[in-house]
Amino acid sequence: MPVRKILCLSLGAEGKVVEGHLRGRGWDVAFCGDVPAARRLLSQHRYPVVLLVAGAAQGLDEPGVAAVEACVHDTLHTEWVALCDGAVLESPAFRALILGCFFDYQVLPLEWPDLDRMLEHAAQRAVLRQGATEASSDASTLGMVGQAEAMVQLRRDIRKVAGASAPVLIRGESGSGKELAAQAIHACSPRKDGPWVEVNCGAIAPSLIQSELFGYVKGAFTGASADRRGLIEAADGGTLFLDEIGDLPLELQTNMLRFLQEKKIQRVGAVRSTAVDVRVVAASHVNLAEAVARGRFREDLFYRLNVLAIEVPPLRQRMDDVPLLARHFLKVCAADRPRRIEGFDRQALAAMASYSWPGNVRELYNCVQRAVVMTDQRWISARDLGLASAHVVAHKDLGTTARTDLGAARTVAERDAIFRALTRAGNNVTHAARALGISRMTLYRLMEKHRIDADALGIESRG
């Protein structure tokens, strides 16, 4: 049997007895008697398992529990287990720490077989966690964070289609990460050293999209004082990413089809075609097959694009990735903050786990970004994330709910809906109003009604 490493953090007299037993069972034991020493050891070495021994004599006050919790949050890839006196469990803070952050625990007096089984299970869990971490590290080379099976399959699909030259159609909900998938395809392809050009088909005015995509020659229209190549030509030798291809005007879809078929383009006002070597990756949050059935998208263009199709899963289908993504976003958003933020408290993690994330990964990023700006604490709370009410509703008992005043419940629901829409839209009032099915002015009135401070949230002005 390979030697297994364990750190024994003893805050009670039983620690030395436990250390001797562990060594006799073949564990490679590192022993320390206080939390600062444990943090130093954990920063220098990797221990798959940490055993916290907390006897009644020592106990754990509020600062002590906070110190242990900080130590736990510093070791995301370690399984923590506890051996504690029943009196210590009378502390609400310590109970919450055990239930929220520890793999398992045993109550004194010592039962050696139970302790051995608990540590064996923790060690096996640590092996699984290490494998998931390695998979996540592999994913980071594709620019994506996640270890759920849906993401593992997505990365497999990306590697398969990356080496081909045929068009790729990426399907997925808004905010799910379609652009990252497209970038990963380019980065893994033989064209990775060529240009990467992004085009949001829904963000360019219909009157300009023809000249933006295909370019124009001097004199083609008023203001065309010189030849200009379009975005398709700019991607020559590389990859063209057509985001929200479903928003492409019908009259322009014909030209796009001709480009895909002939690998040639014709600038606006030109009499000759120009050959281009471009690999097309397209994405859409709408079902293009349904758009074809409604006459909003050309059937022949759909089949031309839908040669290689991959699906980006919504966040609700990979909820195990939420803590991993949240910590990654925290690291990104807090990188330039002068005040250190340790992580997310237990209520924040629970709120994120109970929320459905209709805005997907983009909504999660926006929540974390706002929390980093708004929090005054070392640990981000559910309220900082804007999820406090969602967490309360998810855990409220039915009797309490039944007694809630209906008018007050409607007010809370309306306010929460506005907050969620603004978060998903990145605090863009126009997009939030559209998602809510109301006008911008109505949304502003509702924000005033609920005393939602636009300036505090960095929301754009009414203009």
Shared domain for 300 and 285, answered yes or no, is: yes
Domain that holds residue 343: 316-449
User: What's the pLDDT score for residue 302?
Assistant: 95
Give the separation between CA 167 and CA 423, rounded to whole angstroms. Answer: 33
User: What's the pLDDT score for residue 131?
Assistant: 56
Q: Phi-psi category of 172—alpha, beta or left, where left has phi over 0 and alpha has psi -120 to 50?
A: left
Shared domain for 112 and 74, answered yes or no, is: yes
27-58 burial code (b ≥16 CB/10 A, e <16): bebbbbeebeebbebbeeeebbbbbbbbbeeb
Q: Which two tokens stand for residue 246?
A: 């479903």
3-state secondary structure the chain: CCCEEEEEEECCCCHHHHHHHHHHCCEEEEEECCHHHHHHHHHHCCCCEEEEEECCCCCCCHHHHHHHHHHHHCCCCCEEEEEECCCHHHCHHHHHHHHHHCCEEEECCCCHHHHHHHHHHHHHHHHHHHHHHHHHHHHHCCCCCCCCHHHHHHHHHHHHHHCCCCCEEEECCCCCCHHHHHHHHHHCCCCCCCCEEEEECCCCCHHHHHHHHHCECCCCCCCCCCCECCHHHHCCCCEEEEECHHHCCHHHHHHHHHHHHHCEECCECCCCCEECCCEEEEEECCCHHHHHHCCCCCHHHHHHHCCEEEECCCHHHCHHHHHHHHHHHHHHHCCCCCCCCCEECHHHHHHHHHCCCCCHHHHHHHHHHHHHHHCCCCEECHHHHCCHHHHHHHHCCHHHHHHCCHHHHHHHHHHHHHHHHHHHCCCCHHHHHHHHCCCHHHHHHHHHHCCCCCCCCCCCCCC
User: What's the pLDDT score for residue 338?
Assistant: 67
User: What's the pLDDT score for residue 129?
Assistant: 63
Q: Judge whether 85 and 42 are in contact, CB under 8 Å.
A: no
Burial group, residue 106, by CB count within 10 angstroms (0-12, 13-18, 19+): middle
Boundary (domain end) residue, out of 136, 161, 196: 136
391 lies in a domain?
yes
**CATH code for the domain in which residue 215 is found:** 3.40.50.300
**CATH code for the domain in which residue 72 is found:** 3.40.50.2300
458 lies in a domain?
no
459 lies in a domain?
no
| Cβ-proximal residues to 463 (8 Å cutoff; 6+ apart), any chain | none
Shared domain for 160 and 305, answered yes or no, is: yes
Q: Phi-psi category of 412—alpha, beta or left, where left has phi over 0 and alpha has psi -120 to 50?
A: alpha
461 lies in a domain?
no
Q: Phi-psi category of 416—alpha, beta or left, where left has phi over 0 and alpha has psi -120 to 50?
A: alpha
User: What's the pLDDT score for residue 453?
Assistant: 64
CA distances from 260 to 243, 276, 278, 303, 456 (A): 16, 10, 9, 11, 47
**Percent of the chain whose predicted confidence (pLDDT) is above 90:** 38
- Sign for the CA dihedral angle at 347, 340, 49, 128 comes to positive
**CATH code for the domain in which residue 365 is found:** 1.10.8.60
Shared domain for 36 and 167, answered yes or no, is: no
Shared domain for 267 and 338, answered yes or no, is: no
Shared domain for 187 and 304, answered yes or no, is: yes
Shared domain for 290 and 214, answered yes or no, is: yes
Boundary (domain end) residue, out of 113, 136, 159: 136
Entry pTM: 0.59
User: What's the pLDDT score for residue 392?
Assistant: 45
Shared domain for 169 and 267, answered yes or no, is: yes
User: What's the pLDDT score for residue 422?
Assistant: 80
| 364 C-beta neighbours (distance < 10 Å), count | 23
142 lies in a domain?
no
Total structural domains within the chain? 3
Shared domain for 338 and 443, answered yes or no, is: yes
User: What's the pLDDT score for residue 378?
Assistant: 82
Q: Which two tokens stand for residue 170?
A: 């990426």
Low-confidence ranges of the chain (pLDDT < 70): 1-3, 56-59, 76, 129-141, 338-339, 389-410, 412, 453-463
Shared domain for 267 and 187, answered yes or no, is: yes
Shared domain for 200 and 307, answered yes or no, is: yes
Closest CA to 240 of 180, 200, 280, 189: 280
Shared domain for 287 and 403, answered yes or no, is: no
Boundary (domain end) residue, out of 247, 280, 311: 311
User: What's the pLDDT score for residue 462?
Assistant: 44
